[in-house]
Amino acid sequence: MSATVLDNIRNHASDRMQSNGNNDADTETTAETAMVVPELLRNRALLLFGLALTAVASFLLLDRFLTSELLTLGAGCAVAAAGVYLAIAKQQAVYMLLIAALPLEATFVVEAGFSITPYYVLFGLLILSYVVHGKHVSLAETPSRLLITYFAICTVSLVVGLFTAPPEVHASSAMAWRASAMRPLIQWILTAVHILFFVVVLNRIRSRDDILSSVKLYLWIGLGLGLIGCWQTLAVALDLPGKDFTHAFGAAADQGYQYGKTRFYSAFIADFAPRATFRESLHLSHYLVSFLPLAIGIVLYRKQLPESWRIRTPLILVVISLATLLLTMSRSGWIAFAGAMAFMFCFCSKARMLKAAAATIAVIAVAGLALKSLGYFRFDLDIWELMQLRMDVEKLGADPRVLYLQTLWATFVQYPLLGVGIGNYGLFGAARLGMDVVLSAHSVFLNALVETGIIGFAVLCSVIVHFFWSAIGTIRKSRTLAAFPMLVGVCAGVFGMTIQYCTFGDRPGFHYLFMIALGYAMIRFIRQNPLPSTVK
């Protein structure tokens, strides 16, 4: 009897405790829900920014492809509703979609004084998701502060540019928007979006799972693009379907970009160079350089990594992506990849890196021999002679970009401190050369030099210097840690992309900023958390 009573008392007490626990949980949930409204109010500026970015990008894209205004409006509302629901309900899904869609930065482009792509829509949704979920975006870390400082200089440059009186350019109809008075403001807004993207990604990647999921998805998307690019090449050589699948989008055809057999892509050597989802093979090579060192590092150390840090990276896809990089015929891409491998050679096992170098040479030889036998190249030369032809120093000296560089320097000398104002160099350069198209600086860093002056250039370069200073210090202390191959691969990719950005581009791309943010996140994680060791 007494035992039964005691059991009843215990059961009753247990039920009460469980009930109290549920009540506490309900109270906590209610409190969290109640916090959403204050967070929304505190972040209303960010909320409005995300809504505006998503709405404008969606409308411009739909307006480009739909002829009916009513249909455009209806489709825009449907896309916005679905996107906002996804942003509110599935923040992780939006973030992963953001990584998977990084190639969209160069696809599906509408030119309106700037390049508008679906990627801005996705990023706007991620901003909405951050606001709705009450996520805090910290600017306390040094890289974020440096980029915010650079943006402040861009803002000052924008104001100064109003008084530098950029020359009037009689632009062609295709360039009318790009040469309009709105150009500086648009470029300033896009710079803000790219910097905010970096800050959000840096805040988003916190745990080991965040690092691994980000690396896995970025790596697999990249390897997939390498496979598509290789297939494009074979399709041209063997007259197979899929020579240029980007025709399906039809976005660039009306803007003067001619796909297929053009000198712009083939560099006089072949009738075609793989572009995957990119408008230029040069841009595809930049993307390939971003992840190939990471893939090679993982492959070289895969047997030494603990199970929890292993990422499946099929060797065959790495080989195919290497072949695709070769076939882009991008000189800067080749040099950037060589620089990335040199970076890895400084820190990784020399024996492993020599094997990687031998494998790379073998891939080049086999790919070149196979394509020559298929009649892919225009000349009866082997792959090494073709590469030498592509890297001819005399031809490099005759490149139009040499003239562009001289024009840029002459403009910089006139406005050395704060530059000509963000977005204005294209007009100054075009006026100097008497062109009817907006001139490009053909270098992210030189563009910063001429548009934001020596001050902006120094701050932008300080971001890169700080990254490698932090990365190299961490790499030297983590040679036996499980994250070592990934960190070296990420840093090598950033190093290669930085080299290539000395020859093209006007502002850092999303995938470049993503890799820098990923590298910073890994550095922070390694410093804050003990990691399992690898076997040397």
- pLDDT confidence of 184, banded at 50, 70, 90? confident
Considering 1-5, 60-64, 208-212, the range whose residues carry the highest mean pLDDT is: 208-212
- The angle at the Cα of 288, spanning 388 to 104, to the nearest 5 degrees, equals 130
Q: Quick check: 279 pLDDT over 50?
A: yes
For residue 334, the model assigns a pLDDT of: 93
Band the pLDDT of 59: cuts 50, 70, 90. low
- Average pLDDT (298-307) is 84
Q: How confident is the model at residue 489 (pLDDT cuts 50, 70, 90)?
A: very high
Asked if 456 and 157 touch (Cβ cutoff 8 Å), the reply is: yes
- Looking at residues 302-330, what average pLDDT do you find? 86
What is residue 81's predicted lDDT score, i.e. its pLDDT? Answer: 62
Q: How confident is the model at residue 85 (pLDDT cuts 50, 70, 90)?
A: low
Q: What pLDDT does residue 144 have?
A: 93
Average pLDDT, the chain: 77
Please say whether the beta carbons of 504 and 282 come within 8 A.
yes
Two tokens, residue 187? 């470029």
pLDDT in tens, 354-409: 988 998 999 988 988 888 888 888 778 778 888 887 777 666 666 667 777 888 89
The first and second tokens of residue 279, run together, are 């408008």
- Comparing C-alpha atoms, which of 335, 209, 341, 235 is closest to residue 282? 335
Q: What is the pLDDT of residue 30?
A: 38
Report yes or no: 162 and 217 within 8 Å, Cβ to Cβ.
Answer: no
Beta bridge partners of 270: 377
Average confidence (pLDDT) over 478-488:
86
Reduce the DSSP state of residue 389 to 3 states and report it: helix
Query: Given pLDDT bands bounded at 50, 70 and 90, which one contains residue 13?
Result: very low
Question: Phi and psi dihedrals of 116, rounded to 5?
Answer: -105, 130
Asked whether the predicted pLDDT for residue 512 surpasses 90, the reply is: yes
Q: Identify the pLDDT of residue 372.
A: 84
Q: What is the 3-state secondary structure (H, E, C) of 83-146?
A: HHHHHHHCHHHHHHHHHHCHHHHHCCCEECCCEECHHHHHHHHHHHHHHHCCCCCCCCCHHHHH
Lowest-pLDDT range of 11-15, 58-62, 155-159, 175-179:
11-15
**pLDDT (average), residues 241-270:** 50
Please report the pLDDT score of residue 60 as a whole number.
54
